[in-house]
Structure 1
Amino acid sequence: MAGHGTEHPHGADRLCEAGDRVYSRAVRRGRVPREDAEPVPCLLELALLHPDPDDMAWLVPAAPQEVMTRLLRGLYDEVSASQRRVGSAVAAFEWYAGLGGPRPQAAAAEGSAIRVLDGLSRIQAAMDEATEACTTEVLTVQPGGIRPEHELTEGLHRALALRGRGVRMRDLYTHVARHGQGLLNYLELMGGTVQARTLDEVIDRLILFDRTVAFIPANADRTLALELRHPALVEYLGTVFERLWRLAIPLTAPLPDTGIEGISHREQSIAALLAEGHQDAVIAERLGISVRTCRAHIARLSETLGAASRTQLGVRIAQVGLDGTPRHAELGSGPEPASLTLPAQESRNVR
């Protein structure tokens, strides 16, 4: 979606400063005079503005939701293509690694640095083998929402075996997992052996044993996995985990208050993702909730902020700072931030 103008070589995902001002003004007012857009031809090239059929001297904006959909479709295509290339490269790597018959020990070790595990039985066998060899620590990332009971039960035998050997375990979940009784029962059973923390979002599933072997999914339905033993890859994944762990909130601690009356922590997370241009299904997947639940939160968010449409909701989110943008204009000069009144909600204040 890159523009064709030489002075504005960008796409709709990153507008120039002048284009940002004109498009934002058009969204707020419903249209702008054609001469306002002359310095920013990128807006017409990217179809962010188009002529008003009732008055050709004016330009009307494409709805932000429409732009979000276009961007998301392009991103999805790019990610899908990247996943296909990675899958092909891994398959080719294994094929070439299997050629040539017996190899020196060093070469053999290098060839087993990445192993493709095809099928649930092979994945389970590799996980059991890693569990038996583990002596000190297991780090896991569990995306999605409330973990089903059968998933917790399937991994319980490995967890109990690890606990019996004094292995420490740390688990990262999304905030939604806090509401699952199965997880609470599992943690109570494991006692102090397992520490758990939560975040709004986490990376895809990861299991890391003793900082020497890691397992990650290799397809969407998790019937294909990668076993990683290359020291650089394993160290990198360990660093990612530690940084997420420092940002996460212990499961036993309450989630922080949003500071805005009537808006929950989850609705704050949804607002931030809406401001980034994501669709409902993507937001639901990233936060580990259903699309239906996501839309119910968006409806409540719209009601609280007094927004009558998705476009207006985006403006309201920015006005009260739920998009993460600093709001210097609304802050007082003293140590206490000035009180902000939610649009169309005179009785609710933002501090």
Structure 2
Amino acid sequence: MAGHGTEEHPHGADRLCEAGDRVYSRAVRRGRVPRTDAEPVPCLMDLALLHPDPDDMDWLVPTSPQEVMTRLLRGVYDEVRESQRRVGSAVSAFERYAGLGRQLQALTSPGGGTAIRVLDGLSRIQAAMDEATAACTTEVLTVQPGGIRREEELTEGLHRALALRGRGVRMRDLYTHVARHGQGLLTYLELMGDAVEARTLDEVIDRLILFDRTVAFIPANAERTMALELRHPGLVEYLVTVFERLWRLALPLTAPLPDTGIEGISHRERTIAALLAEGHQDAVIAERLGISVRTCRAHIARLSDTLGAVSRTQLGVRIAQVGLDGPPHSGPPGPPAPVRVAGRGSPSVR
């Protein structure tokens, strides 16, 4: 879309240029258009009249004319005394488009809103999150993958968290165990007080934010420059179930990590051993646990030394011999059992 700017399309959604009118009309009639068709008319993307197809990012689907009209009128009504002519123009324009796209009803949720909406760009993601925050009245559930949270990440959403706390909204956050070591997270939780409850797991799913169990946000690409806004009751209920099951397995932030029962092997090394036994590479293990590849390899080296392994193959055998090849136990630790480390003398208990 290089070479095209908003200066070439100095208009609003109520009076499209001829090129934009042709492409949008075609999209409404057919249900979608190739992304290349919209490149000469960036106004359609700028005005959110077209957005990426969740099933194929090379195609664009039209925002329903009714939804466009509602969004437009929401801003127009703020200036109704000065903009009555534009209100009539917007209604007239989108009544014509509304007759073209009856097939778009299949893309809407039972409640009448868009079931899946692609948010392309950080500004649109932020705007949608702010809108959901403003409408939230009861509960927010979040899953925050990765390791230690950077200060800028925590500051970015702080205004929303404080607004929610001010309205009495309860928040529950899931992090990886690594996040426990970040002072920024501890400061954030101290600031939020009893409005936020945090728990941790060895690894969590990708980022998830749920508002009032009615709308969910998940990433749509690896760079997190695109997101999906989900409002379909079935999808949202499924994500709530996933969160609740992870929550039951997680440990409160104030609770200590369980003991592995093997002297010299930490809880994190126990988790790495289980992932190695599943055949994962170092980079994959590091990403899942929210640590750097260098840190991951340092843990593997210490694990090899503790188990007396001189190669990756031998390390795999040692892991199986001492029973580290199963998923680590995240609940309250039971009494440790004596474990003999292969290649060592007497059994050791921790």
| Structure 1 residue 339: Cα displacement | 3.7
Distance 2:232 2:132 in 1: 15
Q: How many residues align?
A: 257
Secondary structure of residue in 2 paired with 1:140: strand
Q: Which residue of 2 aligns with 1:135?
A: 137
Distance 1:325 1:233, change over 3 A: closer
| Structure 1 residue 274: Cα displacement | 0.1
Distance 2:57 2:228 in 1: 11
Q: Which residue of 2 aligns with 1:250?
A: 252
Q: Which residue of 1 aligns with 2:348?
A: 349
| Structure 1 residue 89: Cα displacement | 1.2
C-alpha contact 1:342 1:350 (8 A) present in aligned 2: no
Paired-residue identity, %: 79
| Structure 1 residue 91: Cα displacement | 4.6
Between stretches 226-235 and 94-103, larger displacement belongs to 94-103
Does 2:226 correspond to 1:260? Answer: no
Secondary structure of residue in 1 paired with 2:295: helix
Structure 1 gaps, min length 5: 1-85, 327-335
Q: Which residue of 2 aligns with 1:322?
A: 324
Structure 2 gaps, min length 5: 1-51, 66-95, 329-334
Q: Which residue of 2 aligns with 1:185?
A: 187
Q: Which residue of 2 aligns with 1:95?
A: 61
Q: How does 1:221-240 map to 2 (within 5 A)?
A: 221-240=223-242
Distance 2:176 2:129 in 1: 23
C-alpha contact 2:261 2:349 (8 A) present in aligned 1: yes
Distance 2:145 2:288 in 1: 8
Match of 2:219 among 217, 220, 228: 217
Q: How does 1:111-130 map to 2 (within 5 A)?
A: 112-130=114-132
C-alpha contact 1:318 1:325 (8 A) present in aligned 2: no
Distance 1:202 1:125 in 2: 26
| Structure 1 residue 94: Cα displacement | 6.0
Distance 2:272 2:176 in 1: 13
Distance 1:325 1:215 in 2: 29
| Structure 1 residue 343: Cα displacement | 1.6
| Structure 1 residue 87: Cα displacement | 6.7
C-alpha contact 1:141 1:204 (8 A) present in aligned 2: yes
Distance 2:336 2:146 in 1: 36
Secondary structure of residue in 2 paired with 1:95: strand
The code of the aligned residue for 1:127 comes to M
TM-score, length-scaled by structure 1: 0.68
* Alignment RMSD (CA, Å): 2.6
| Structure 1 residue 164: Cα displacement | 0.1
C-alpha contact 1:115 1:227 (8 A) present in aligned 2: yes
Distance 1:181 1:346, change over 3 A: same
Q: How does 1:143-222 map to 2 (within 5 A)?
A: 143-222=145-224
Distance 2:250 2:59 in 1: 36
C-alpha contact 1:137 1:169 (8 A) present in aligned 2: yes
TM-score, length-scaled by structure 2: 0.69
C-alpha contact 1:136 1:168 (8 A) present in aligned 2: yes
| Structure 1 residue 344: Cα displacement | 2.1
The code of the aligned residue for 1:161 comes to A
Distance 2:107 2:228 in 1: 17
| Structure 1 residue 171: Cα displacement | 0.1
Between stretches 341-350 and 276-285, larger displacement belongs to 341-350
List per-residue Cα deviations over 1:143-164 (Å, max 9, x = no partner).
0000100000011000000000
Distance 1:323 1:288, change over 3 A: same
Between stretches 250-259 and 339-348, larger displacement belongs to 339-348
Secondary structure of residue in 1 paired with 2:55: helix
Q: Which residue of 1 aligns with 2:73?
A: none
Secondary structure of residue in 1 paired with 2:141: strand
Q: How does 1:32-71 map to 2 (within 5 A)?
A: none
List per-residue Cα deviations over 1:265-291 (Å, max 9, x = no partner).
000000000000000000000000000
List per-residue Cα deviations over 1:179-203 (Å, max 9, x = no partner).
0000000000000000000000100
List per-residue Cα deviations over 1:95-131 (Å, max 9, x = no partner).
1665893268976743611000000000000000000
Distance 2:321 2:339 in 1: 9
C-alpha contact 1:219 1:225 (8 A) present in aligned 2: yes
Distance 2:54 2:107 in 1: 21
Distance 2:114 2:58 in 1: 14
Secondary structure of residue in 1 paired with 2:172: strand
Between stretches 337-346 and 114-123, larger displacement belongs to 337-346
List per-residue Cα deviations over 1:14-58 (Å, max 9, x = no partner).
xxxxxxxxxxxxxxxxxxxxxxxxxxxxxxxxxxxxxxxxxxxxx
Distance 1:157 1:337, change over 3 A: closer
Secondary structure of residue in 1 paired with 2:205: coil
The code of the aligned residue for 2:167 comes to R
Q: Which residue of 1 aligns with 2:279?
A: 277
